[in-house]
Copies of this chain bind each other. A is one copy, B any other.
Amino acid sequence: MLRFEIVHQSKKSRARVGRIHTTHGIIETPGFVPVATNGSLKALTSEHINALDIDLMFCNTYHLMLHPGADVVAAAGGLHIFMQRSRPLITDSGGFQVFSLAYGGVHQELKSSGTKKNEGSVKKITEQGVLFRSYRDGALIMLTPESSVAAQKNLGADIIIPLDELPPYHVEKSSLRKSLDRTHRWEKRSLDEHLKNPGYQSMYAVIHGGIDPLLRTASCNYLSSLPFDGFAIGGSLGKNRQEMIEMLTVLMPQLCSDKPNHLLGIADLPSLQQAIPLGIDTFDSSHPTKCARHGLLYTTQGNITIERGRYKQDFSPIDSTCDCYVCITHSRAYLHHLFKAHELTAYTLATIHNVRFMVNLMKRYRQAILDNTI
């Protein structure tokens, strides 16, 4: 099980530098957590991943459950061995994908006013769990707190997540309350199942309550009373960054500060800047790797769209301050050419750079906290 060490609490804000000690190594916080949905960080090999010095990586139980199956991963010796990653991993419950495939994200929802995006995928939500149809082969699958934990035991990530219900953004307050109560019961069942055989795994609670501050408080209070190893913040936090930050500003002081916490699915650069001072420890997002595959490269001087004509004869590195293999080896002109020629290598090189940028950015944030400038 994990042990959380607070290295330094900033004198200027709630930001802190920490270390999460796990069986597979140490996670420095605040830390960025790349998303390797299918057990592969898109376009990278395990060698690249090792070279990038990524402390924690996120894999999706939903996808791995549908292919190759959590049992196959278990037969391989667990996810660390299957994907050849020796350092810490975190998996989610699978619930987020089941519900988001049904409702879509906040953005799609705001357009559709909560009408289901894919009526067919979630068949039934009962106290027992959620019945859904596999997008791969149409098979009906029942995801319960117990089956999600069983799958996550098979996968064997260092940090696992209890099953929760994700109500759509457009939900009546009474429905949100009902949903939260059910989520709490599901999280408790998940924890009970986990604690039958915790092994080296730790479980983070997921704080819910949507955009209602009182329900968020109720969620903090209830989940803090249970022996979870840390807290993830999930569900809809508002319809834009400002609302999210306002909610986190209210929420964070209510979380037990001696346990690690994680903000689910958010790690864009402006959100990091505003959320780190609130005391968030880890952030997962597929945004930096998705941007990379679209040729949007992060630099300390701002983002660059590498396909633009101005980079055709720019023989300087993507970012002269970056220590990644791509910046040391290749020019912007070469990356520009590879993107223009639709070469697969472009996606690999851009991903290496953006992930390394994030790793270095978080190092700078940690130093700024140590210096009490954040």
A347 contacts partner chain B, Cβ-Cβ < 8 Å:
yes
With A43-B348, A72-B333 known, 13 other A-B pairs at CB within 8 A are: A38-B338, A39-B334, A40-B343, A42-B344, A45-B345, A68-B336, A75-B313, A76-B315, A77-B315, A82-B337, A83-B334, A84-B329, A84-B330
Q: Are the C-beta atoms of B337 and A38 separated by less than 8 Å?
A: yes
Instruction: Return A337 CB to nearest CB of chain B, in Å.
Output: 5
Contact of A347 with B344 at beta-carbon distance under 8 Å, contacts A333-B76, A337-B68 already known? yes
Q: Are the C-beta atoms of B40 and A345 separated by less than 8 Å?
A: yes
A77 to B333, CA, bound (A): 12
Contacts of A42 in B (CB 8 A): 343-345
A222 contacts partner chain B, Cβ-Cβ < 8 Å:
no
Q: Are the C-beta atoms of B72 and A313 separated by less than 8 Å?
A: yes
A47 contacts partner chain B, Cβ-Cβ < 8 Å:
yes
A83 to B338, CA, bound (A): 10
A185 contacts partner chain B, Cβ-Cβ < 8 Å:
no
Query: Which of B76, B325, B329, B333 lies in contact with A68, CB distance below 8 A?
Result: B333
Query: Which of B68, B330, B344 lies in contact with A348, CB distance below 8 A?
Result: B344
Contacts of A41 in B (CB 8 A): 345
22 residue pairs A–B, Cβ–Cβ below 8 Å: A38-B338, A38-B343, A39-B337, A40-B346, A42-B343, A42-B344, A43-B348, A44-B345, A45-B349, A46-B329, A47-B325, A63-B341, A68-B312, A68-B336, A72-B333, A75-B315, A76-B315, A77-B315, A82-B333, A82-B334, A83-B334, A344-B344
A177 contacts partner chain B, Cβ-Cβ < 8 Å:
no
A83 to B38, CA, bound (A): 30
Contact of A67 with B340 at beta-carbon distance under 8 Å, contacts A84-B330, A333-B82 already known? yes
Closest 9 CB pairs of A and B: A43-B344, A38-B341, A40-B345, A68-B337, A40-B343, A84-B329, A42-B344, A38-B343, A67-B340
Interface band, chain A: 35 or more
A152 contacts partner chain B, Cβ-Cβ < 8 Å:
no
Contacts of A344 in B (CB 8 A): 42-43, 344, 347-348
The contact string, 1 if C-beta is below 8 Å from chain B, for chain A 317-361, is 000000001000111011011101101111111001000000000
Within 8 A of B (CB), among A57-85: 63, 67-68, 72, 75-77, 82-84
Interface hub of A42, A47, A82, A337 (most chain B Cβ within 10 A): A337
A83 to B329, CA, bound (A): 9
Nearest CB in chain B to that of A72: its residue: B313
